[in-house]
Every structure is written in C-alpha cells, then in structure tokens.
Structure 1
Amino acid sequence: MSSDRRPGLLVVDTTQPLVLYVSGHITRADAPGLCADLERRLVGLDPTDVVCDVGALAQADLAVVDALARLRLTAGRLGHTLRFRGAGQELRLLLALVGLDETVV
C-alpha cells in the first residue's frame, strides 16, 4: 500500500500491500516500538496484506526473530496478514526453527 500526497484527500492505493522496512541492528528493546509503529499504520484500515522487508537487517539472531514474531502477532490481532521478504539464509533458518518459515516470501 502506498500513499500519494495531493491537495485535498489522502489517496491510498489498496491494490498494493503495505510495506514495512526493518533494517539495521535490532534488539529486544526495539520490538515494542516497531509494533507500535505498525499498529499506528494499520489501525482503521480494512484487512490487508503487510510485507515486512527484512533484507537490510544487520544480523540474524533471536532478538530479530522475537521482533518479527511480535510484528506478526500485532498485524494478526488487527486482522491483517504479515509476510517477510528479503530474508537471508540465516534468518530463514531461524524462522523455520520457530515455525515462521511459512511467512517468508
């Protein structure tokens, strides 16, 4: 989903999924802020697909998996689906260990 600022009404393209970019070094302390940001974006929207682009993450560890799992739960609680794109091999293996490998595109 993307938006285009024009005078007047906000135009939202609902034919495209909402894309959330997660990058850099993620710690357990980052998870609540990421989830709050996602919730702010999703509140009031009709159920939609959300793509979480993780291709620019600095590392693949359990803190990242925890944050991604929490993002998925946040989206699901609001009636949306969340899929991950751009996951490297290490992150794919970790997601498989916790049963989230079906969410990787």
Structure 2
Amino acid sequence: MARPEPEKPPTPSPPPPSPAVLVLGRPVTRAEVQRLCERLSALARRAEPGPVTVDVGGVGRPDLAVVEALARLRLTAGRLGRGIQLRNACGELRRLLAWTGLDEALAAPAASGHAPASGHAPASGHAPASGHALGLELGGEAEQREEALGVQEGVEPGDPAP
C-alpha cells in the first residue's frame, strides 16, 4: 500500500523590495562621490519605486563636498527615474543648500514624475530646505550691464578697419 506523500510547505515568496535608503555616516570627501553614486544606483535598482532617502545625519559639519555629493546623487537618481529626499539634514546644511541654489534643485521631481525629493523625511520634524523657509527670496531679475564711462577703445596702427 502506497503511503501518501507528506505535504510540502508552500515556497515562500521573496520579500517585497524595501525603500532605498543611503546613509552617509561620516564626512564626505570629493573622492568618495563616485562611489556614493554607484551605491545609490545599486540601492535604487533593488528597492521599491519612489524617491531614494539620503540620511545626511552623520556627515558632521556640512561643506561644499557634501553639497557636491548631494547634487551628484540627485543627478544619479534622476537618471534612474527617481528623486531623492534628505533625512536628518541640519539647519546648517539647509542654509548651505539654499545659499548655493541647490535647495530647489534637490526638491525638483525626477523626470519620470515620481514624488519630488524634499529637504526632509516626514519623520524628521524639520522644515523643507527651501529659500522661502529660510526667509530668503529666490530668483529675481538679472541686472543690466552698463557701459563704462570715459573708456575709449584704442586703435593701433595696422589694425584692420571695422
């Protein structure tokens, strides 16, 4: 008499992808930017759709190397059809981003229309990084260049006629 085969447990389905989070746990140097972009690309390809969260709480005192890294990370995420959102960004970093004009660039949506990157993750409790939140007025009109007074162009002998 044949024994019934024991039931095999169902094969578990793979876990759903998790959100992409890139943690910057120490000060960033310009030499590390390419490696960070590669890490962001790898994370974004394995993660669920949507913006990549960049936790900047560990970068210490922000400088232009951090700003450059964030700008390059934003470009990398944009090429993948994603945005970025910053988590744990201190006020000094927000001011530096506003001063360089990158606060708005980092807040711009990715080309695919995913949710925009913002200056914070909702749980951080910080205001978004924008010039308006910092009391700065962004934009304005370019000044017109005025002719210098009392300056005449000299002509050297042998110069071709205008």
TM, length-normalised to structure 1: 0.79
Residue 55 (structure 1) shift: 1.0
The alignment of Structure 1 onto Structure 2 pairs a total of residues equal to: 97
Distance in 1 between residues matched to 2:48 and 2:57, nearest whole Å: 27
Are the counterparts in 2 of residues 47 and 79 from structure 1 also a CA contact under 8 Å?
Answer: no
Distance in 2 between residues matched to 1:50 and 1:63, nearest whole Å: 20
Gaps of 5+ in 2: 1-10, 108-117, 121-162
- Structure that is richer in strand per residue: 1
Q: Deviations over 1:50-91 (max 9, x none)?
A: 111111112200001000110111001100110111111111
What residue is the counterpart of 2:43 in the other structure? 41
Distance in 2 between residues matched to 1:38 and 1:57, nearest whole Å: 16
- Structure that is richer in helix per residue: 1
What residue is the counterpart of 1:85 in the other structure? 87
Distance in 1 between residues matched to 2:14 and 2:97, nearest whole Å: 36
- Report which structure shows greater RCO (CA 8 Å, sep ≥6): 1
What residue is the counterpart of 1:104 in the other structure? 119
What residue is the counterpart of 1:23 in the other structure? 25
TM, length-normalised to structure 2: 0.53
Q: Which structure 1 residue ranges, 4+ long, deviate > 2 Å from structure 2?
A: 7-10, 43-47, 98-103
Are the counterparts in 2 of residues 27 and 64 from structure 1 also a CA contact under 8 Å?
Answer: yes
